[in-house]
Amino acid sequence: MKTQNSWSAAFSIYFQPRVLGMIFLGFSAGLPFLLVFSTLSAWLRDEGTARTVIGFFSWVGLTYSIKVFWAPIIDRLPLPLLTKWLGRRRSWMLIAQLGIAAGLIGMAYCDPNSQLQQIAFFAIMVAFSSATQDIVIDAYRIEAVIPEYQGAMAATYVFGYRVALLVAGAGALYIAEFMNWQIAYLAMAATMSIGIIATLSIKEPESVTNNKAESIEAQLEQNLGIENNDSPLSRLTVWFADAVVCPFVEFFTRNGKLGLSILALIAVYKMSDITMGVMANPFYLDLGFSKKEIADVSKIFGFFMTILGASLGGILVVRYGLMRPLLLGAILVALTNLLFALLAVSEPNLKLLAVVISADNLSGGIATSVFIAYLSSLTNSAYTATQYALFSSLMTLPAKLLGGFSGIIVDGYGYQYFFIYASILGLPAILLVTFLMYHQNSLINDE
């Protein structure tokens, strides 16, 4: 009876208003991502843009990887008028969502054959606004509910995010297939209204004083000799120390020498997966599949396999802890890239495509859910927004840099060797997880 009550109480968390609200915020966060990544790649390739140029366009995604640089500003700086009306979190959220919608509209009215620079500008605008929204939503998620609800908040956020990927992937491809790319991107801009309505409907989280954070900041100010100086330069120095330096100091104080190995793992864990994703849609198109077929298999069917993988990842974490499932995810992602190499040398076959994409999405779902749990275990509640921005930036930066050269590799060596290369990029993650498995047990779940 006790077990039944525990499961019943856990499930009832998903009926909390703020937990349900994360579905819509997750949707708003997920919608822009593919529109400046693989969906944009499909649009450009469909218009005849060279694969090398498409590879360079993937660098737009670097914006997500450097958001840590402005995360402290968004975390602490109020916006005139809007903050008084909506509060600090919701005001930044609304500005970011309006920026995303405006950027998508700008992209829609550009011609890829003659206005690639303009498309790049608006794509950067979308990516910057989207990265800003990610920072704010992460902060809201942490501050809105008690720690016991954070797992449920993350789960509903991931669900909304995945639905948005389906809309921005399959939905945009369907619209482009039966109408055109301009209407597809205008429709995606209109869909951002879901996030805007959610932002206006949710309640601003209450600000809570963190005595531990204040103690860390006071100690750092004292060490720098700036605690009693009221000059403008000193106040700026105090702000920089508290908002930017303290999260890093706390992280390395808690993790010691292993901190560098942990950051290295974060930097390479998604490298294989993200690098492969840059050329996924161009690969399907070059094999001869239609946009509808790609949407049917890779987006809709793949969506359910991703959700299944994410669910399995959560179960594995409960059963075996973090590190062993983390290693399993890294191995599976590297191995499934080899299946794409097999697909590259095979005759076009929808069934084979479905099998390969199923394996890829299943392994990706496992790796993603476990990795999110791992990143959450590394974050201190006093500096969650800034530290999480650091982790998520590191998670994508090296992969985005390498992904920009993916078109060159495909043009020079073909898809088969590109996917073998992408698989090899997964080896550093496997080695680092193995190393940390034997050195990090005492650090897991600290703070």
> Per-residue pLDDT for 1 more than 50?
no
Assign a CATH topology to domain 256-447. Answer: Growth Hormone; Chain: A; (1.20.1250)
> How confident is the model at residue 53, as a pLDDT?
81
> Per-residue pLDDT for 325 more than 70?
yes
The CA-atom distances, in angstroms, between 105 and each of 37, 125, 181, 343 are: 16, 11, 11, 36
> Per-residue pLDDT for 197 more than 90?
yes
Task: Go through 239-254 and write b for each residue having 16 or more CB atoms within 10 A of its CB, e for each that does not.
Answer: eebbbbbbbebbbeee
**Cβ atoms within 10 Å of 56's Cβ, excluding its own:** 18
Q: Write out pLDDT tens, residues 278-321.
A: 788 788 888 888 877 877 787 667 778 887 787 677 667 767 77
- The top-level CATH class assigned to 12-208 is mainly alpha
Place of tokens 């531990």: 212
Extract the tokens encoding 52: 């090398």
> How confident is the model at residue 116, as a pLDDT?
85
Q: Is residue 138 within 8 Å of residue 384, measured between CB atoms?
A: yes
Nearest to 141 by CA among 158, 126, 124, 128: 158
| Fold match, 12-208 / 256-447 | yes
> Per-residue pLDDT for 442 more than 60?
no
Residue-range domain boundaries for the chain: 12-208, 256-447
Mean pLDDT across 201-209: 79
Task: Go through 409-422 and write b for each residue having 16 or more CB atoms within 10 A of its CB, e for each that does not.
Answer: bbeeeebeebbebb
- Burial of 2 by CB count in 10 Å (0-12 exposed, 13-18 middle, 19+ buried)? exposed
The Cα angle at residue 138 between residues 369 and 100, in degrees rounded to 5: 105
Q: Where does the pLDDT of residue 183 fall: very low under 50, low under 70, confident under 90, or very high at 90 and above? A: very high
> How confident is the model at residue 445, as a pLDDT?
44
Instruction: For 227, list phi and psi in degrees, rounded to 5.
Output: -75, -25
Mean pLDDT across 77-86: 86
> Per-residue pLDDT for 215 more than 80?
no
CA distance 68 to 447: 21
> Of how many residues is the chain composed?
447
> Per-residue pLDDT for 188 more than 50?
yes
Q: Write out pLDDT tens, residues 380-389.
A: 767 777 887 8
**Cβ atoms within 10 Å of 104's Cβ, excluding its own:** 28
User: Identity (one letter) of the amino acid at 236?
Assistant: L
Extract the tokens encoding 276: 């492969």
Q: Where does the pLDDT of residue 11 fall: very low under 50, low under 70, confident under 90, or very high at 90 and above? A: low
Q: Is residue 16 within 8 Å of residue 259, measured between CB atoms?
A: no
Across the chain, mean pLDDT equals 81
Mean pLDDT across 338-354: 85
> How confident is the model at residue 21, as a pLDDT?
87
CA distance 275 to 278: 6
Mean pLDDT across 216-225: 73
pLDDT higher at 132 or 139: 132
